[in-house]
Every structure is written in C-alpha cells, then in structure tokens.
Chains A and B, each alone.
Chain A
Amino acid sequence: AQSVTQLGSHVSVSEGALVLLRCNYSSSVPPYLFWYVQYPNQGLQLLLKYTSAATLVKGINGFEAEFKKSETSFHLTKPSAHMSDAAEYFCAVRGGNSGNTPLVFGKGTRLSVIA
C-alpha cells in the first residue's frame, strides 16, 4: 500500500524567500513520486516527477525536488518565491507503473506568498 504525508497544511513565505514544502511517502514497491499544483477552481498541473532516474528532479516554474530513499522523503523547493506561486500543492505517489494504479495524494499544502 502507498501513502503520502505532507507536513504543514499551510506554509507562508515572503516574496523572494526559499520555499520548502515537505512530503514523506510510504510504498511497498519502488515508487513514482509527483508534485502537482492546483489554483482555485482548476484541475491539477504537474510540477515534476521522480521515476527512479536522477534523485534531484527539476520541474517547471523553478521548482525542484530531491528523492531521499533513506528518509522516504520527496520535499519540494524553490529558491525564491514569487507571488504567482501562491496555490495548493499536492504530493502524490504511485506504487508501480501498472495502468490501473491510481495516484495516492497527500492532503495538500497551501502556499501563501507575502509581498
């Protein structure tokens, strides 16, 4: 079984400051890991994904995440926050690549960016 824990339902940072959103996962098989962003009343947009290649994954909009197997973590970072980064962020895991295997989502972290 797979599960995701996102630490902190709400994170607030100043514009230009470092963004760190935490995600820990549990998976009985080698996982695929994802970060998605959701703006109000919209679907989910993929930020980045880990697929067992490089452990440091770069995504869109300057975000990146590092897969640490020993810590079962996949934290999302961005060096300098922009106002447009304010949104809901979801970490998700898929155990295996079977077509029927759904994503399992964390509860989400709302990022606020203060001017």
Chain B
Amino acid sequence: GAVVSQHPSWVICKSGTSVKIECRSLDFQATTMFWYRQFPKQSLMLMATSNEGSKATYEQGVEKDKFLINHASLTLSTLTVTSAHPEDSSFYICSARDGGSVPEAFFGQGTRLTVV
C-alpha cells in the first residue's frame, strides 16, 4: 500500500530557531502534498497545498513566510517553521496523493513540535 513517511516524529526547539519537517512518499509519486496542523483534541486544519515544482498555495490566515513549504521532487515535500515561537507548538501532519484515480490521501505519522 501507499506509504508516507514523516520525519521527525517529534522535535523540541528553542524560540527563534527554525525547524524542518520532511514528508516522503515511499512507494508512489506524490504529485500533490497537503500540510495540516492539529491542535490538541481538535480536527485537522489545512495549512497549504503543494504541487511538485510549483509554489505552495496557502490557506487564508497561514503565514507563508513563516511556514515555508518546498515540494522539489515527486517524493519529498518539506515544511520549515521559521523563527519558531511557543504558539507554533502543535502537531503537524502531511498527506500525499498520487494524482491518479485513487481519491484518498495517505498520511504521514505526524510531527509533534514543541517550542520552548
């Protein structure tokens, strides 16, 4: 089956530093990747949609200069949280689609970010 690997699974960083989260599709080519943020006991909030080789499309209210998304290849997308602050602490989840007839998206394991 389609596997999406997200790394790291958890990270702690100091305020003001940047953190990069990787999302890889292991056995399919992900033409589209989605990045979500999830607050405790809440649903997933879509942050941005990225297509390989193109700039990401950000949802309203998401700072594109703070949450840098790169989708340079068909198997890798990265989310970089720049100048992190404690309010950026959250659970970040990526998902990927292969662009074919399969309608569902496959999800990574998520990354728990804690900014201290």
Q: Which residues of A are in contact with B by a Cβ distance under 8 Å?
A: 32, 34, 36, 41-46, 49, 51, 90, 94, 97, 99-100, 102-108, 110
Q: In the complex, what residue of chain A is closest to B108 when comparing beta carbons? A: A43
Q: In the complex, what residue of chain B is closest to A91 when comparing beta carbons? A: B43
**Does A102 lie within 8 Å of B51, measured CB to CB?**
no
Chain A residues within an 8 Å CB radius of B28: none
| Interface residue? B75 (CB, 8 A) | no
**Does B104 lie within 8 Å of A43, measured CB to CB?**
no
**Does B112 lie within 8 Å of A90, measured CB to CB?**
no
**Does A34 lie within 8 Å of B104, measured CB to CB?**
yes
**Does B49 lie within 8 Å of A102, measured CB to CB?**
yes
**Does A41 lie within 8 Å of B112, measured CB to CB?**
yes
Chain A residues within an 8 Å CB radius of B104: 32, 34, 46, 49
**Does B101 lie within 8 Å of A97, measured CB to CB?**
yes
| Interface residue? B34 (CB, 8 A) | yes
CB-defined interface of B94-108 with A at 8 Å, one 1/0 digit per residue?
010101010111111
Please give the number of chain B residues whose Cβ is less than 8 angstroms from any Cβ of chain A in the complex: 30
Chain A residues within an 8 Å CB radius of B103: 32, 49, 51, 94, 97
19 residue pairs of the A-B complex, CB under 8 angstroms, read A36-B107, A41-B91, A42-B110, A43-B4, A43-B110, A44-B44, A45-B107, A46-B104, A51-B103, A99-B32, A99-B51, A100-B57, A102-B105, A103-B34, A105-B43, A106-B43, A107-B43, A108-B43, A110-B41
Chain A residues within an 8 Å CB radius of B43: 90, 105-108
**Does A100 lie within 8 Å of B51, measured CB to CB?**
yes
